[in-house]
Every structure is written in structure tokens, then in C-alpha cells.
Amino acid sequence: MNIWIAASDGRNDLVEKFISENPSITANTPDVNGYTAMHAAAAYGHIDLLRRLTKEFGGDVNIKDSDGDTPLHHTEDLSTAKVLIEELGCEINVLNSEGKTALQVAEEDQEFPELIQYLREKSGVPIEQDSLGIDANMMAEFKDNIRYTLENDRDEDLDSESLARKKRLEQIIQGGNAEEELEVYIRDLVRSKMMGSDEAEAPQDGPDSKRRK
């Protein structure tokens, strides 16, 4: 047992024991992945523990793990998100190492609709759009354009970079989770353009939850 497992299990008593008996352990002490008791409490929705870690033990609500994720990035339920934002004052638009906010991570997972709606409202994102300003019609148009390009671009007319991109898109289209993976690819492309990058970093294995459960 360690403080990170204790926090994941919601063991307030053990977390307090670890902190009080070992001066080198705090609410912000990271494991090998930069994961802290703050991240664990948020990920598993242990709200009372999260409050104690922050208010009594100096926990940083915006602390980042090795992926740049804050406790809010790891949050999977509406109640925990509300406490982090409205009570504990976490920053909602912190970017992780991939340049994604907690909302954008949740949008890619598509597993927690209430959480997504709340984060959109708090971020001022119109309900019909995602955090990148893409609505359903725009997403459909992006997909149609990609499929048209794949059908009409001949391999012999493409340079090596364009050919590699085409092959990657063909893998996505032919995969078992094509629609979701294609949306992730499109969002990464749009995000890279917004950040001034010339090329999106295409996901290699499809959408991947950042959760460490």
C-alpha cells in the first residue's frame, strides 16, 4: 500500500497517516508517472478526500503528471468536476502535453456526456459545437472530404509524406472503430492548425483514454 493506492481507494485515514508520518510525502508527491494523490482522488471521485488534500494538506488542484494532465483531466464524473472548479478553484483551460484541455480529453473519450456538457458550459463553448468549434455538420463535411480524397488521389501522384498520411487514413477507415478514430484524427488536425503546426500528429492506435484506472 502507498499513498496513491490509498487515495484511489478513498482511504482518508491511510492518506493522512502517510502524510503525517513521512515528511517526504505530501498531497503533491508524484509516483514514477507524475501521478499524485490529487490525481487519484479526482479520478476516482473521492470528493471528501480531494477537499482534505487541498484544504488541509496543501494539494495543488492544477498539478500536472508526466503527461501534463491535471486532476481535472482525470475526472470522470460531474460532481467531482464541480468541486474542483467551483469550490477548489482549479483552472479549466490548462493544456496537457498534447495541447488538450480537460474538455478536449473528455470529448475524445465520449464516455461522460454530463461532464462534457458541464465543461462546455464553463468554457463558454456553444452546446452544438465541441471545444474546437466543430459542429456536427462540419465534422460530417470533414469526413466526406477525407473519403473523397482517399478515393480520388492516386498513390503515384503523392509525395512520401502525403502517401504516408493516406495510408494512415486508410487504416483508420478500415478499422473497427472508424468513425471515432476519424473524429480524433480530424480534431488533432484542426488543433495543430490552431496551434500553428504544419502537420497533425495522427493517433497511432486510435482514441486512448488518459485515465489510469
Cα distances (Å, whole numbers) of residue 164 to 148, 160, 175: 17, 6, 17
Please give the Cα distance from 49 to 39 (Å, whole number): 11
Rounded to two decimals, the pTM is 0.67
Strand partners, 135: 129
Place 210 in a pLDDT band, splitting at 50, 70 and 90: very low
Q: What is the mean pLDDT of residues 87-97?
A: 96
Please give the Cα distance from 206 to 213 (Å, whole number): 19
pLDDT in tens, 62-71: 999 999 999 9
Q: What is the mean pLDDT of residues 128-143?
A: 79
pLDDT in tens, 12-71: 999 999 999 999 999 999 999 999 999 999 999 999 999 999 999 999 999 999 999 999
Q: Which SS3 state, helix, strand or coil, does residue 135 take?
A: strand
pLDDT in tens, 151-201: 888 888 888 988 998 898 999 988 888 888 888 888 888 877 776 654 444
Q: What is the pLDDT of residue 176?
A: 85
- End-to-end Cα distance, the chain: 16
Place 132 in a pLDDT band, splitting at 50, 70 and 90: confident
pLDDT, greater one: 141 or 85 = 85
Q: How many CB atoms neighbour CB 153 within 10 A?
A: 13
Which bin fits 64, alpha (ψ -120 to 50), beta or left (φ > 0)? beta
What the block records as the C-alpha cell of 26 is 505530501
Query: Which residues are CB-neighbours of 143 under 8 A, at least 6 positions away?
Result: 179, 182, 183, 186
Domains and CATH numbers, the chain: 3-123 (1.25.40.20), 136-194 (no CATH)
Q: Which SS3 state, helix, strand or coil, does residue 91 take?
A: coil
C-alpha gyration radius of the chain: 20
Closest CA relative to residue 67, chosen from 44, 99, 112, 42 = 99
> If you average pLDDT over every residue of the chain, what do you get?
87
Q: How many CB atoms neighbour CB 2 within 10 A?
A: 13
Please give the Cα distance from 8 to 212 (Å, whole number): 10
